């Protein structure tokens, strides 16, 4: 049996991460660097702007975008950096997926996304597709998906206030509408103590956001459009 899923969990995380980067003033992109120049190869979320800090392979801490470059997509950095080709980079506030192994915590402020739970919101539906391009059955399930957002850094309190304010607003609904997910509500923000590897307290705020999405599971389905020759079977004789 063939099976496909749409919308996937990866797509939900990517959409939420893109919105967070937009709210917190950042971007995610594949870029190339050499000396003090940065070329954005592919922009995946947010917008790259002057004065944003840059985090990525071969880029020293504290590096930021000093000015626009000559060509579209080119920027001048505040300092010389290593030469890298088409590596994933972040500007502004890094927003990363939690539960990664052997990955150090970023320097400075950042946001972690951590999946908490999925709750069914109602009875699923079935849709039959029988045409020249597809013969399948689509099963839908509406889900309340809870994602915990951890805000770290000196500005964590301001970031959680901005996110909690906009999560229940038309801005978030309009931004996420094209991705197939919608905000529901969020729990109250909580300040949780955090001690780093140097036994120092760090600012940390936690916000659980609820969003709704409806994944569709498609399975193959056989149909028929005509009946062949019919014959009668004597059940008592054939199956005594």
Give me the pLDDT at residue 187, please.
96
pLDDT at 125 over 80: yes
Average pLDDT over residues 57-77: 90
pLDDT at 174 over 60: yes
Please give, one letter per residue, the 3-state secondary structure of the chain: CCEEEECCHHHHHHHHHHHHHHHHCCEEEEEEEEEEEEEEEEEEEECCCCCCEEECCCCCCCCEEEEECCCCCEEEEEEEEEEEEEEEEEECCCEEECCCCCCCCCCCCEEEEEEEEEEECCCCEEEEEECCCCEEEEEECCEEEEEEEEEECCCHHHHHHHHHHHHCCHHHHHHHHCCCEEEEEECCCEECCEECCCCCEECEEEEEEEEEECCEEEEECCCCCCCCCCCCCCHHHHCC
**Per-domain residue ranges of the chain:** 1-24+93-222, 26-92
Q: What is the pLDDT of residues 142-167, one digit of tens each?
A: 999 999 999 998 889 999 999 999 99
Give me the pLDDT at residue 169, please.
95
Give me the pLDDT at residue 1, please.
55
Question: Which residues, at least 6 apart from 100, have a Cβ–Cβ distance to it below 8 Å?
Answer: none
Between vectors from CA 47 to CA 89 and to CA 185, what angle results, nearest 5°? 100
- In angstroms, the CA 101 to CA 64 distance is 28
Q: For the whole prediction, is pTM greater than 0.95? A: no
CATH class of 1-24+93-222: alpha beta
């Amino acid at each position: 049996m063939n099976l496909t899923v749409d919308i996937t969990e990866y797509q939900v995380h990517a959409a939420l991460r893109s919105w967070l980067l937009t709210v917190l003033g950042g971007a995610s992109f594949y870029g190339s660097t050499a000396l003090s120049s940065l070329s954005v190869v592919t922009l995946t979320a947010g917008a790259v702007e002057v004065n944003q800090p840059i985090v990525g392979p071969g880029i020293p801490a504290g590096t930021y975008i000093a000015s626009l470059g000559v060509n579209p997509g080119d920027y001048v950095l505040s300092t010389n950096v290593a030469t890298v080709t088409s590596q994933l980079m972040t500007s502004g506030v890094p927003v990363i997926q939690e539960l990664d192994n052997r990955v150090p915590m970023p320097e400075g402020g950042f946001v972690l996304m951590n999946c908490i739970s999925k709750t069914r919101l109602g009875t699923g539906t079935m849709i039959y597709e029988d045409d020249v391009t597809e013969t399948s059955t689509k099963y839908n399930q509406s889900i309340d998906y809870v994602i915990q957002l951890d805000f770290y850094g000196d500005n964590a309190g301001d970031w959680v206030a901005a996110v909690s304010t906009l999560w229940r607003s038309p801005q978030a609904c309009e931004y996420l509408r094209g991705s197939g997910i919608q905000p529901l509500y969020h729990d109250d923000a909580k300040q949780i103590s955090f001690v780093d590897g140097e036994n120092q307290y760090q600012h940390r705020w936690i916000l659980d956001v609820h969003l709704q999405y409806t994944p569709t599971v498609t399975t193959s389905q056989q149909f028929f459009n005509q009946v062949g020759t019919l014959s009668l079977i004597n059940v008592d004789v054939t199956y005594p």
